[in-house]
Amino acid sequence: MRSWELRFQRHIRKNVLWYAFAAVLLLGVWIRYSALPQAAADMKYMNMSWYAAIKQNGMAGVLATQLQWTYSPLHLYLWAFAAWCFPLADNMLMLKAVSLLMEVGLIAASCLLVWHTLPMEHRLTGLFTAFTLLWLNPVLILNVSAWGQTDASYAALSVLSLWLLLKDRPAWAMVSFGLALAFKLQAVFLLPALVIAYFCRQKKFSLLWFLLIPAVWVATGVPMALLGQSPFYAVTVYLGQTGMYTQPTFNCPNFFALLGDALTGNQMTQGLWQRLGLVLALGSLGGMAAWLIAGRKALSDRAMLLLGAWCVLACLFFLPRMHERYGMAGDVLLLLWAVAAGRPRGYAWVLLGLAPTLSAYCQYLYAHPIMSLQLGGAFNLALLIILTWELTREVGVCPALTPDSAAVA
């Protein structure tokens, strides 16, 4: 072997991971670029008409009654800023560009979280694994680049809030979570994990920091008063959203999809099933919280990832009127836990949850699902049972409080 070949081998061994990062980055960019021309129904009949009204008449223009604006004020501010910066850009591409920035934020926050959770010697390989599985994740690609949805916004801020909490910055964690809630109401699915962390994390923080969540949420709507709206618009817009949907499930492979024909019937029957789902959701979350708190369980950084995923996915499975998109934060946290745990079965659970979600996306976007919605519900029930078992194994027991550990942040 010649000397230049030895140098070449040494260079590749030293930098192979960085070349792999670059290859994954380029592959992800290419597949996203390929998906950009697709226009889903939501994009064609809602988002693009809203964005056109913003470009033509400013923020007030989209609030016309006939346009039926249902998004949060943060969406309005962000889209108005994009329209002001790039007035000549194609509407659909501009909306997708904003969503892509949100997705980049989600992946960046996820990388911060997995870097913090892993021990030093495994950080670089763990970071590469997390980045690869997120950047090439078919659900994220379909959600953002093909569909043009904005679920990555609240998911990114939810993941960031968890990272800040694990970094012992509770005030900023609650600010970040307040912004997540101000983007989309579905961020609330992670709130039980933050409340449980107040009781079960060795590093204590004040309960008063939780007041920042509604404060930030409400504050994001105050500028709407300049447009003649209520200063509490950030809250009232969600009240309007909840009244728009009445079906037990909207293409979501959850408890109600699992019931199949049992859901057929009059409005009273469907209402009863929906109330049962709500009871099961509250019972599951309350039961897990009671077990962790009463048992003085200790939540490590890695356990917090799994708890966050479990809370989001439990809400998605049992709550009525869910869409297939609402579990993004839970799916991401589950993937990060699998990377942090480093066990093959963790990746198996990720795939178990990915299959029904991907199938539901294919049903909406292409009218060709991978599996029936009822079978997807069975998959997700199995996943929730498995994650409950994993969570009971992941937690420890709180040590006796010391003056340092009891100090309130």
Place of tokens 């939501």: 42
Question: What's the pLDDT tens digit per position in 239-260?
Answer: 877 666 678 889 999 999 999 8
Count of Cβ atoms closer than 10 Å to residue 346 Cβ:
18
Question: What's the pLDDT tens digit per position in 268-318?
Answer: 778 888 999 999 999 999 999 999 999 999 999 999 999 999 999 999 999
Mean of per-residue pLDDT scores for the chain: 92
| pLDDT of 397 | 67
| pLDDT of 369 | 95
Report whether pLDDT(399) > 60.
no
% pLDDT > 70, the chain: 95
Which residues are registered as beta bridge partners of 250? 323
Overall pTM > 0.85: yes
What the block records as the tokens of 41 is 């129904």
pLDDT greater at residue 364 or residue 5: 364
Report whether pLDDT(194) > 90.
yes
| pLDDT of 241 | 72
| pLDDT of 402 | 47
Name the 3-class secondary structure at 89: coil
Q: How many CA atoms lie within 13 A of 141 on its CB side?
A: 21
What the block records as the tokens of 333 is 């946290």
Question: What's the pLDDT tens digit per position in 60-95?
Answer: 999 998 998 999 999 999 999 999 999 999 999 999
pLDDT greater at residue 14 or residue 220: 220
| Residue 403: pLDDT band with limits 50, 70, 90 | very low
Instruction: Please give the Cα distance from 255 to 376 (Å, whole number).
Output: 10
Mean pLDDT across the stretch 262-272? 77
- What DSSP string runs through 252-288? --SHHHHHGGGG-S-HHHHHHHHHHHHHHHHHHHHHH
Question: What's the pLDDT tens digit per position in 303-356?
Answer: 999 999 999 999 999 999 999 999 999 999 999 999 999 999 999 999 999 999
Which residues are registered as beta bridge partners of 297? 397
Report whether pLDDT(398) > 90.
no
Question: What's the pLDDT tens digit per position in 98-126?
Answer: 999 999 999 999 999 999 999 999 999 99
| pLDDT of 120 | 92
Mean pLDDT across the stretch 197-209? 92
Count of Cβ atoms closer than 10 Å to residue 323 Cβ:
17
Contact yes or no for 379/356 (Cβ under 8 A): yes
